[in-house]
Amino acid sequence: MTETTRTIRIGTRGSPLALAQAHETKNRLLAAHAHLRDADIEIVPLSTKGDRVQDRPLSELGGKGLFTEEIENGLLDGSLDIAVHSMKDMPTVICDGLGIPCLLPREDTRDAFISRKASSLETLASGMLVGTASLRRQAQVLRLRPDLRVATFRGNVQTRLRKLEEGQADATMLAMAGLRRLGLEHVVASPIETFLPAIAQGAIGIEARLGDAAMAELLLPINDEATHHCVNAERALLAALDGSCRTPIAGLATLENGRIRLRGEILTPDGREHHLVEREGPVSDAAALGYDAGAELKRRGGPSFFTT
């Protein structure tokens, strides 16, 4: 990108984690472009419906777009230049006129178990309550430990930790990636090794207007190709399933020696039924592998799977 005096406006949600991700993006841009100064990049926090409405599950409010609509409107009307998102919050279909040209290097993809009453989910006493806003996590908990109870536990990271301290639940689960970005790893009792994570968990995506060559050039040096391939495979799986916040879906792609390994899972909300598939192939086939895996999961589950 050529030297410019135009301020680059970064749109983001206003939570501490979202702001940390926006600042990470800003710092990577400053490090990649010698001509940019701190004052050339402005972070613009916006409130989204998903942030404002905290008394109902996301599945009742309309799904993942609740965290992106206001920010995407800013991109479309030109009041923002780029937007920073947690990719696990992004709908499978991106708004017309917008795209995700850049993904930052992915953080730890695992879930974290947090409790003062047990060191792991496996050792939590029977009948105890696990609070989480994620239907995926609820289903995975019940599959592993049908003797536990689950409840919806919404709010940003700090809010959920406060609710846990207040005794509203005996344990909760959060993404390791977010806790690391906030410097809160010390609250983790143990990482959960047995669960597949949410699609694109740990990945930060940068959204921009299609055809904005200046922004594409600006973002190119900070894009992580490995993360891009893995997230493309996972999101293709999700697209094949028509997945949303209403459906317990998990998936993880890893890249090694130019080959993608993808695992995907669907569960009923009560955890009693689940299907797991795996695909492996060249990185050039990442999206095709993901879509094929999602199609197989859809066939296995059948038309009534997510209504049981």
Active site residues: 89
Here the tokens at position 258 are: 């130019």
Rounded-to-integer distance, Cα 71 and Cα 218, Å: 20
Cα-Cα-Cα-Cα dihedral sign, residues 70, 66, 85, 15 = positive
Exposure b/e, 117-137, CB count within 10 A at least 16 = b: ebeebeebeeebbbbbbbbbb
Rounded-to-integer distance, Cα 82 and Cα 68, Å: 12
Cα 261 to Cα 190, 266, 274, distances in angstroms: 25, 17, 20
Cα-Cα-Cα-Cα dihedral sign, residues 177, 200, 100, 155 = negative
Hey, which bits of the chain come out as E strands?
Answer: 8-13, 41-46, 82-86, 98-103, 111-114, 129-131, 149-151, 171-175, 190-192, 204-209, 249-256, 259-267, 274-282
What are the φ and ψ backbone dihedral angles of 236, each rounded to 5 degrees? -65, -40
**What's at 15, amino acid-wise?**
S
Contacts of 213 (CB under 8 A, 6+ apart): none
